[in-house]
Amino acid sequence: MYYLALSKNNCGKLVGSTFFFFSPRQLRRCWRSIFAVVMLNNRDFLFLVAVSLSKEALEAYVVSANDVVHFKLVMTTDDIEDDDIAFQPEMSHQIFGEGESIFGYRDLQVKLYYGSCSLTPYLGMSYTEKIDLKKSDGLKADDVLKTVLEKLPSGVHTNIDEFVSILPKETAFRPFGELLHSFKIGRGGLSRTFELYSASVTTPGFLDYHARMQSFILWFIDAASYIDSDDEKWEYFVLHEKKVVDGVTCYPFAGYATVYRYYAYPTHIRPRISQMLVLPPFQKMGLGTELLQGIYNFYRDRSDVLDITVEDPSEVFTRLRDFVDARNCLKLASFSKENLHNGFSEDMWKEAQEKLKINKKQARRVYEILRLRATNTANASQYKAYRLEVKNRLNAPYQKQKNRH
């Protein structure tokens, strides 16, 4: 990690007490202006840089990438001018570094538009002023377009007129793969139709589409990385809205998930959900629940599937998974209210694994959720029994370790 301390001279007089965080990419651009380096610890360094601008003047050229990057899913030319459909990233450190900052511009706007169906991308930017190299002693403005383009697939438009010219083709797009499920969601008195598709590496034309889909994840999923889409063990689940625009049916992209088929001894597979994303314009509609349930439905009747797991789930995904699993387990006989009060049993996790492909650890977690739901917290004995059940589970690993010694 690097910190840039700005100085008006090379005597170490700092401009104020505020330090700027700069990425290695930004530091390289002002390397000749560095006159001292202080090692703060094993990984943090303080660079003293002589510049002629004041701290306040330089701060005007530093912006949060999360605030200035704007996404749009575009169907028509009117959408380009419609700021109401714009949405911003949840993070940008995987693009612009840990500080999530962009240096060198005033009133910067980074425009990342996608054809709403085909996901054909456009990248552009605007600003009112760019930092003057003569006044900044070599502190160059970030090359924003180059930095973002490095993370995007091929075929990005950087000319807005060229991008506009391909928009009429959006209505000709058709989803890739096999239709798994069609459903309606009511919101604000309106009913919207969505469809879930499955695709694989062998689906004609899909890999190029996937490259455009996954370009979203670096902005919305922490610790994300692009997958090796040539691996045939990857399976893809894609959500599209089905809507009519000017009398023509079209299929805007709403979200997707990737699943990897791991081997499970001796003759089974263990599908692992790797990435799952519903874009902001489609969030808080229940689409995440539908997407996860659709994945479950795809695998749960297959005899070769042992159970379904999740790779490093976020807190948000964990809540979603708990909700869907609890809702499904409520339909199992072993999870009846009477059985819940008798404690976690072998019948519970075996039925959950056999019918829902839920592993033992997750089955236990769901049991505790449903046990609390079935507990009258105003009943002291019932509530105490529940607390002791959870306490015993938490203490079990320590008790085993104690017994070994």
Alpha carbon of residue 298 to chain centroid: 22
Q: Binding site: residue ranges?
A: 283-289
Quote the mean pLDDT of the chain: 89
DSSP 8-state code for residue 87? B
**Active-site residue among 311, 315, 338, 346?**
311
136, two tokens: 């900044």
The pLDDT tens digits for 2-51 are: 445 443 333 333 333 344 555 565 555 554 555 555 555 565 555 555 55
Taking residues 225-230, report their average pLDDT.
93
Say if residues 307 and 359 touch (Cβ distance below 8 Å).
yes
**Among candidate residues 15, 24, 19, the one with its CA nearest the CA of residue 4:** 19
Q: Binding site for acetyl-CoA: residue ranges?
A: 283-289
206, two tokens: 């899909």
Secondary structure E strands in 25-108: 34-39, 45-50, 62-64, 69-74, 101-103, 105-106
Count how many residues are written for the chain: 405
pLDDT at 13: 32
Catalytic residue status for 311: yes
Gap between the Cα atoms of 63 and 125, Å rounded: 14
Taking residues 57-84, report their average pLDDT.
95
pLDDT band with cut points at 50, 70 and 90 for residue 251: very high
pLDDT at 56: 73
387 phi-psi bin (left φ>0, alpha ψ -120 to 50, beta other)? alpha
Gap between the Cα atoms of 283 and 299, Å rounded: 25
Taking residues 133-150, report their average pLDDT.
88
- What b/e readout covers 210-233, taking b as 16+ CB neighbours within 10 angstroms? bbbbbbbbbbbbeebeebebeeee
Gap between the Cα atoms of 369 and 224, Å rounded: 29
**Residue 398 contacts by C-beta under 8 Å, 6 or more apart in sequence?**
none
Largest CA distance in the chain: 78
Q: 356-364: long-range contacts (C-beta < 8 A, 24 or more apart)? A: 356/296, 356/300, 356/325, 356/328, 356/329, 356/332, 357/296, 357/299, 357/300, 357/305, 357/306, 357/307, 357/308, 358/307, 358/308, 358/325, 358/328, 358/329, 359/307, 359/309, 362/321, 362/325, 363/329, 364/393
pLDDT at 20: 52
Say if residues 317 and 310 touch (Cβ distance below 8 Å).
yes
**Among candidate residues 285, 289, 219, the one with its CA nearest the CA of residue 257:** 289
pLDDT at 33: 56
Gap between the Cα atoms of 245 and 250, Å rounded: 7
* Residue 108, H or E segment: none
Q: Which domains does the chain have, with CATH numbers?
A: 2-54 (no CATH), 62-169 (3.90.360.10), 174-312 (3.40.630.30), 316-405 (1.10.10.390)
| The model's pTM | 0.86
The pLDDT tens digits for 297-335 are: 999 999 999 999 999 999 999 999 999 999 999 999 999
* Residue 179, H or E segment: strand 178-187
pLDDT band with cut points at 50, 70 and 90 for residue 374: very high
